[in-house]
Amino acid sequence: MTFRMNTKLKGKIMFIKFDDLDMLDFFESEPLAIGEKDEAKFIYSIKDSHQFSMTLVVDTYAKIIDISVRYSDNTIFAGEFDDVLEIRKSEDVLLVEMENKKRLVLKKHSCFGIVIENI
């Protein structure tokens, strides 16, 4: 399923735009749908061979994501970000664009990481 930014209300984006094939390519697995069928909430996750994992929860209509990076049972990074406009793949990273001119760069090579940028 691909979510597009076609629906606007007074110039406001109504949901997060992302391509499910890009997400599948990055996370290397299908998402887990959570909540009610029409809520469009998904959990994406990936693990490596060294006990590191990255989990991304996307609440499409609320325009919120939760992301965490863990090692074994220990959380290295966890954050909630709102006003998300778009998630897109660029080469081997995912770019998360937000309304407040911030961007997250999600990396999985050579290790999992999240970079917060002002654009």
Number of domains in the chain: 1
Amino acid at 77: F
Peptide bond into 45 cis (omega under 30): no
Range of the domain at 97: 2-118
pTM of the model: 0.86
pLDDT tens digit string along 64-118? 999 999 999 999 999 999 999 999 999 999 999 999 889 999 999 888 999 999 9
